[in-house]
Amino acid sequence: MDSKIVLLPGDGIGPEVVAEAVGVLQVVASRFGHRFAFQTCPMGGNAIDSHGTPLPDETLAACRAADAVLLGAVGGPKWDDPNAKTRPEAGLLKIRKELGLFANLRPIKPSRHLLDASPLRREIIDGTDILFVRELTGGIYFGESGRRPHASGEEAYNVMIYNTGEIERVVRMSAAAARGRRQKLTMVDKANVLEASRLWRQVTGRIMAQEFPDVKYDIVLVDAMAMHLLSRPRDFDVVVTENLFGDILTDEGSMLTGSMGLLPSASLGTPGPGLYEPIHGSAPDIAGKGIANPLATILAAAMLLRHSLKLEDEAAVIETAVDQVLSSGHRTKDIAASGPSVSTREMGTLVVEAIGKP
């Protein structure tokens, strides 16, 4: 197979972790006889510096023309000035919107080799296997926002807005995913307060009854979900929720695995390239030190092979290799507790070696 993959390494630790994922994709290509053409483009803070915008038109055009996009992370203190006219994060929101990536898949499945890396007790997390589907191109992230004068100074507002179609498409994708898993869908909302949540509840209830009678369906309020995720994570299969709730709950969920450095994500939607990224940020505090965990990005590369290139066997080979490396006891600093640790590069090389000799 011949495929075009655009790389958006971004800022902070982004370039370090993307480099390791590329090494892994290259060894997969040679083992299975594929050709992946990589093109690296500026995005995020570095693009603000070089092009004055976090998502240059040429970068967006290259992404549209690709089969898939692999992203590191964007942002950093250098671009945090509240008065700046643009921010790295704006580029991320724009690429999600422009590529129509309305569903963000964030699997949370703690490795059995890392059950003691989580701050939670092993008997709580053992056996957890959740697929979070976060709505990604609507809600408060994209609603009207602004500031206006107020007697006390100013007031600022962000509008949470959803329409029927936006809810239907992400619920359908989530319910279809549940069919291939344990046939259970949980919808998380705040319908006791928010009108937008009441529309979510109405639309989801209808879609589930009409189109997915075989999938068990329940509803949990977001505040309760924050608690259940820590007390009984095993009870959930697929969880679908709106953009901001999904952002918050999946960072919380990452602690079930022990580190943000382990969680990949896939952003999918309308036909066209998918966007794959670790759920962690640019970690400016450790950027350049060579200690970041590349496994989230390597696992994002596996999701890229599975979802955009339909290479299921190749994706599974990466996941098995990661499992082997962890099972052999290799750890980056974030998951090493007080034991010895390997560098970003060493971890990438260990995964490459595990793939190279099946």
Given the residues 11, 67, 189, 247, select the one marked as catalytic.
Answer: 247
Residue of 92, 114, 303, 305 that binds ligand IPM (CB under 6 A): 92
> Which residue's CB comes closest to Mn ion?
247
Among ligand IPM, Mn ion, none, partner that 301 touches (CB below 5 to 8 angstroms by kind): none
The entry of Mn ion, ligand IPM, none near residue 62 (CB within 5 to 8 angstroms by kind) is none
Of 189, 247, 277, 334, the residue at the interface with Mn ion (CB under 5 A) is 247
Cβ-Cβ contacts under 8 Å for 319 (sequence gap 6 or more): 299, 302
Compare residues 5 and 92 and give the one whose CB is closer to ligand IPM: 92
Instruction: Give the SS3 label for residue 25.
Output: helix
| 251 among known catalytic residues | yes
CA dist 50 and 56 (Å) reads 10
**The only residue of 26, 31, 34, 89 in contact with ligand IPM, by rule CB under 6 A:** 89
Taking CB under 6 A as the rule, which mask of x and - marks residues 277-316 in contact with ligand IPM? --x-------------------------------------
Size of the site for Mn ion (CB under 5 A): 1
- Rounded CA gap, 298 and 318, in Å? 8
The partner in contact with residue 346, picked from ligand IPM, Mn ion, none with C-beta cut-offs of 5 to 8 angstroms by kind, is none
Binding ligand IPM (rule: CB under 6 A), the pick from 166, 242, 247, 334 is 247
Other C-beta atoms within 10 Å of 160: how many? Answer: 18
Catalytic residue chosen out of the listed positions 141, 162, 217, 276? 141
Is 334 considered catalytic here?
no
By beta-carbon distance, which residue lies closest to ligand IPM?
89
Report CA 159 to chain centroid distance, whole Å: 24
Give the separation between CA 109 and CA 291, rounded to whole angstroms: 23
Cα–Cα separations (whole angstroms), residue 134 to 101, 105, 215, 247, 270: 11, 7, 19, 7, 15
CB of 283 to ligand IPM, least distance (A): 12
Residue 248: which of 160, 170, 134 has the closest Cα?
134
89 binds, among Mn ion, ligand IPM, none (CB under 5 to 8 A by kind): ligand IPM
For residue 198, what is the enclosing H or E element?
helix 195-211
Q: Using CA atoms, how far apart are residues 263 and 334, in angstroms rounded to an integer?
A: 13
The one catalytic residue in 189, 190, 237, 333 is: 190
- Gap between the Cα atoms of 238 and 240, Å rounded: 7
155, exposed or middle or buried, with CB in 10 Å at 0-12, 13-18, 19+?
exposed
**Would residue 218 show up in a list of annotated catalytic residues for this protein?**
no
Q: Is 80 annotated as catalytic?
A: no
Residues that bind ligand IPM (CB under 6 A): 75, 89, 92, 247, 279
Q: Which residues bind Mn ion (CB under 5 A)?
A: 247
Residues with a catalytic annotation lie at 141, 190, 223, 247, 251
